[in-house]
Amino acid sequence: MELNKRQIKAIEWDIMQNGIYHSSLREDVLDHICCLMEQELKLTPDFKTAYLKVRKQMGSLRTLQYNTDEEVHSHKRLERFVKIPYYLCILMYFFLGTIMVCLPIVLSLAYMNVLILLGGSPLLILGYIIIFKRIDYKKLDIIPYKESFSPVKMTF
């Protein structure tokens, strides 16, 4: 038995209320519950009873969200070690650039700032690509509750 739009919205609202705030994980959990519900409704035609049964067998959604965060961020920790030196490089780059432009000594090294710019830019772009583009984990998008959904009253 296929669920209707209203029932799906009600499930979505409930799983959000129970702590699934990542939109990516929410899509997974919503589809999973809907699949379980479609099976359960064959045995228990009443939506509310079926939903309570399914939710009971699923366990804590907050724990699921917590475990997912832990799993995802354990891979992000390594990135932090790369990001910090990268940010330091950017700071040094601009610091050196400023010195070269501002100090009178620049007069004797007239094109040094241009050389720094030419030499540094490809490195910065390369660093950006490696660090920020390699892991395309758009699923980390945390959508604030009020923006993503208007709560649907749970009516079964």
Partner 1 sequence: MYICPMHSNELLKGTLKTIILNLLSENGKMYGYEITQSIKELTKGEIQITEGSLYPALHGLVAEGLLLTESVSIGKRVRKYYKLTKEGKSETKKKLNEFSDFVFVMQGLLNLKLAK
Query: Residue numbers of the site for partner 1 (CB under 8 A)?
Result: 2-5, 8, 24-25, 27-32, 34-36, 58-60, 63-64, 67-68, 70-72, 74-76, 134-135, 137, 139
* Cβ closest to partner 1, residue 38 vs residue 121: 38
Write down the least CB distance from residue 122 to partner 1, Å.
24
DSSP, collapsed to helix, strand or coil, labels residue 130 as: helix
Task: Pick between residue 97 and residue 151 the one whose CB is nearest to partner 1.
Answer: 151
Distances (CA, A) of 120 to 32, 81, 108, 131: 49, 21, 21, 16
80 vs 134, beta carbon nearer partner 1: 134
| Residue 23 CB, nearest approach to partner 1 (Å) | 10
- Of the candidates 34, 73, 74, the one whose C-alpha atom is nearest the C-alpha of residue 54 is 34
- Rounded to a whole number of angstroms, the minimum distance from the CB of residue 146 to partner 1 is 21
Residue 12: CB atoms within 10 A of its CB come to 21
Q: Which is nearer to partner 1, 27 or 46 (CB)?
A: 27
SS3 readout for 39-106: HHHHHCCCHHHHHHHHHHHHCCHHHHHHHHHHHHHHHHHHHHHHHHHHHHHHHHHHHHHHHHHHCHHH
Least distance between partner 1 and beta carbon 134 (Å): 7
